[in-house]
């Protein structure tokens, strides 16, 4: 009890952190979720780990950033996953249309299961930035997508 008539305010209990992050299971679940995306009527090729040899169109699930106590999400642990969506090289206009199609499909896959079957509390598409990716002698159009997973 505070003296001199001062009022005490309750301090909210911070959210519990998971005992382990389970990043392997999160990565695998996220990759399976993205396999629900399509490009030009075919299932999107998802590459859940870095590879030396690859063929577009595809989605690379990159490295993760972990924030163990994210105040923006009630003190929960968040994992930010970088995903690169790559389409085959084409003339400028068809490439832009392909980028829009692959991004729409990626976003649709994320929205189809925003908890990855209960593996995470929430999946949030944060940002997508257009980039060019070197592949052999060509620069391929791509999006670098930032996706946040709340554990």
Q: What's the confidence (pLDDT) of residue 117?
A: 93
Residues 35 and 96 sit within 8 Å (Cβ to Cβ):
no
- Domain range annotation of the chain: 23-150
Beta-strand ranges (E) seen in 76-121 are 76-86
pLDDT of residue 136: 86
User: Which comes out higher in pLDDT, residue 104 or 21?
Assistant: 104
pTM passes above 0.75: yes
Is residue 54 within 8 A of residue 130, CB to CB? The reply is no
pLDDT category at 19 given cuts 50, 70, 90 is low
Topology of the domain comprising 23-150: 3.30.980
């Amino acid at each position: 009890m505070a003296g001199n008539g001062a009022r005490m305010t309750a301090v909210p209990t911070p959210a519990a952190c998971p005992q382990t992050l389970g990043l392997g299971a999160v990565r695998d679940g996220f990759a399976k979720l993205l396999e629900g995306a399509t490009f030009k009527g075919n299932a999107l090729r998802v590459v859940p780990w870095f590879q030396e040899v690859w063929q577009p169109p595809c989605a690379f699930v990159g490295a993760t950033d972990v924030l163990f106590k994210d105040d923006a999400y009630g003190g929960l642990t968040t994992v930010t996953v970088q995903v690169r969506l790559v389409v085959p090289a084409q003339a400028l206009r068809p490439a832009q249309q392909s980028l829009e199609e692959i991004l729409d499909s990626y976003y649709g896959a994320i929205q189809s299961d925003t908890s990855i079957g209960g593996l995470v509390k929430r999946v949030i598409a944060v940002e997508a930035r257009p980039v060019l990716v070197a592949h052999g002698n060509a620069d391929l159009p791509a999006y670098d997508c930032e996706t946040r997973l709340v554990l």
